[in-house]
Amino acid sequence: MHALQWGGRFAGAPDAALLAFGSSLDEDLVLAPFDVATSRAHVTALESGSILAAAHARELRAALDRVAAEIADGTFAASARASNAEDVHGAIDARVRELAPEAGASLHAGRSRNDQVVTTLALYVRDRAAHGADLCASIAAFALAEAREALTRGTLLAATTHWQPAQPILLAFWLEAVAESFARAAERFDRVALDARAACPLGSGACSGTTLPLDRLAAARELGFATATNNALDAIGNRDLAIDLLHAIARALGPASRASEELVLWCTPAFGYARLDDAASTGSSIMPQKRNPDPFELVRGAAAAANGAFAGALASTTGLALSYHRDLQETKALVLRGSERALAALSAFASAFDYVRFDAARMSARAGDGYTVATDLADALTLGGIDTRRAHALVGARVLSAEREGRSLDASDLAALGEAAGFAGPLDAPLDAAASVRAKRTAGSTNPDAVRNALDALEASLA
């Protein structure tokens, strides 16, 4: 049976090359199970509206069950490609008409591909947003568990700004920061999934509704929506959910990319803070010694691609009038390609992150390098009554002196600072990274107690 869903009006056959150009079948195949669900709900709307006889409704549901089974076992894709269908929606309609010829001829009654596509896309968004939320929550939970272990060990780390040594922190603090960012990403996905349950577009028709008495609420309930959409013209051209999904994905890959950037550098011999297990590393075709952290580099690239997909999908909708325009097929392609690749990258990040082994001894040993305790000395001067700018200048001068002498800040610097400030004795300030971490006083700081409190709060929110 021919899979095109239009005809009669045309005296000639479509140009094969142009028909192929307009086909989105290969990209749409991922939507197949969601289209089956949409079609089943439309059968319910037809039957509940007394448009379709109960016997035909049973035949259509049985045919759709058969199609669902073929989708699950992989046989549908090959038959769909052989059907010359414009898209997966037409391929499923054609297959149903093969399985139930008489009843299948009525499946599309009162339905346009316009409302069919946007409803199917909403189900896809709901599913992928839930998957994204699960992925991000699992990454956050993993980072949180790693942070608790690192907190127990007391592993130190020189935090950087501008990739220069900044201040000592706990590795647990860094891991908790990663966990926080993914917890926020999970919340964004959750909001998208919730929005994708609000209102069902099915039954909107081409742009104005239909004269057939479809039971839209019955279809909406079957698909898990709270209600039906209010305006057909808005509903069939609305791609907010799809764009929101891409936005949530791009935002989730942001922290994955940022963490990947640090991990790539930490795995270099110059840092040596971490090692990526063989299972997640690759080699070189010419350099025998190489161990490359490819998964994290690919995640960075995928984050850039996700940003591009989001920008492209958003741009593709902004120049369109209300209602449906074929440009939206490109929007759909950007959403599907962008979502599938980006979610795969997010999953790969989760897997690779599990293969990272931190060198706690090396991290801790270098946490004070680069005069990372200098700010603590300036703070101690401020607590002693010295204005902040003068304190900054005094400590900066001691750092310059120590740097020229090739040494770390030591007791001689505390004595000199105390004398310069007019104190009765040496300045009382931490000189090593561990003491610096313990000296922090604010909530949300790298102080071990503050980190422990933050981990407890995050664990509660994830639960």
Residue bearing tokens 């006083």: 441
Query: In this structure, what DSSP letter does residue 213 have?
Result: -
* Angstrom distance (rounded) from CA 196 to CA 241: 7
The 10 Å Cβ neighbour count of residue 15 is: 10
Backbone phi, psi, residue 161, to 5°: -130, 145
Q: How many CA atoms lie within 13 A of 358 on its CB side?
A: 23
For the question of residue 162 being annotated catalytic, the response is yes
* Angstrom distance (rounded) from CA 369 to CA 409: 10
Closest CA relative to residue 28, chosen from 336, 338, 342: 336
* Angstrom distance (rounded) from CA 130 to CA 124: 10
* Angstrom distance (rounded) from CA 241 to CA 246: 9
Catalytic residue (choose from 2, 50, 208, 284)? 284
What is the four-CA torsion angle of 286, 287, 291, 296, rounded to 10 degrees? -50
CB distance 357 to 267 below 8 Å: no
CB distance 402 to 417 below 8 Å: no
CA 64 to chain centre: 32
Tokens of 31: 């939507």
Q: How many CA atoms lie within 13 A of 370 on its CB side?
A: 14
Tokens of 9: 């009006």
Q: How many CA atoms lie within 13 A of 345 on its CB side?
A: 28
For the question of residue 79 being annotated catalytic, the response is no
* Angstrom distance (rounded) from CA 229 to CA 223: 13
307: CB partners within 8 A, 6+ apart: 250
Tokens of 268: 């270099």
Q: What is the DSSP pairing of strand 199-200 with strand 274-276?
A: unpaired
Query: Interior CA angle at 151 toward 149 and 157, to 5°?
Result: 110
Catalytic residues: 162, 284
